[in-house]
Amino acid sequence: MQISLAARLNQAIAMRTRAEVDALLRDSRPWLYRLALAITARTEIAEDVVQEALVRAARSRDKLASAAEPRAWLRTVVVRCAITALAKVPAEPQADRPCDADPTEALAVRHTLGRLNPADQAILALAHFEELSYAEIGQALDIPVGTVASRLHAAREAFRKEWRK
């Protein structure tokens, strides 16, 4: 009972104001968009993913206000939205330009990512774009830490295999 009370007290102390949550959502948009772009490799899908994630975050404002790590919470929402969005679209990406220093290389990467399954795309982005630890990846994908290593290995191998096709 005392522990529960202490936990609730901590939660109350950590509770963010409405203005703070609004500022967090506003300031996180560029980062969320770039994360969504790294996962989906398609600008139009990334934009939709962020819009959807922001709507969900606004609906769950209380959870965001009391989240111990709001950035991790938002990341999880975007990853889930991205996986859902990718599952609905055709596997092969269309030719658009998200971010291309070398257009041919960027296009080849997009095509390769587009042939992977959405979960592989997400775990590659979390590991190599976000540069998260296994524990953080496990939290974002809601999988055990022990599973992260094998999933990441499989995703990397899938990428290499598709690249060489």
CA distances, 17 to each of 66, 109, 116, 121 (Å): 10, 41, 41, 35
Which listed residue (21, 24, 37, 67) binds another protein by CB under 8 A?
37
Stretch that binds another protein, among 34-42, 57-65, 84-92, 143-151 (CB under 8 A): 34-42
Give whichever of 46 and 64 is closer to another protein, judged by the CB atom.
Answer: 46
Asked if 119 and 129 touch (Cβ cutoff 8 Å), the reply is no
Q: Could you tell me the smallest distance in angstroms from the CB atom of residue 34 to another protein?
A: 5
Residues that bind another protein (CB under 8 A): 26, 29-30, 33-34, 37-38, 41, 43, 47, 50-51, 98-102, 105-106, 108-110, 112-113, 124-125, 128-129, 156, 159-160, 163-164
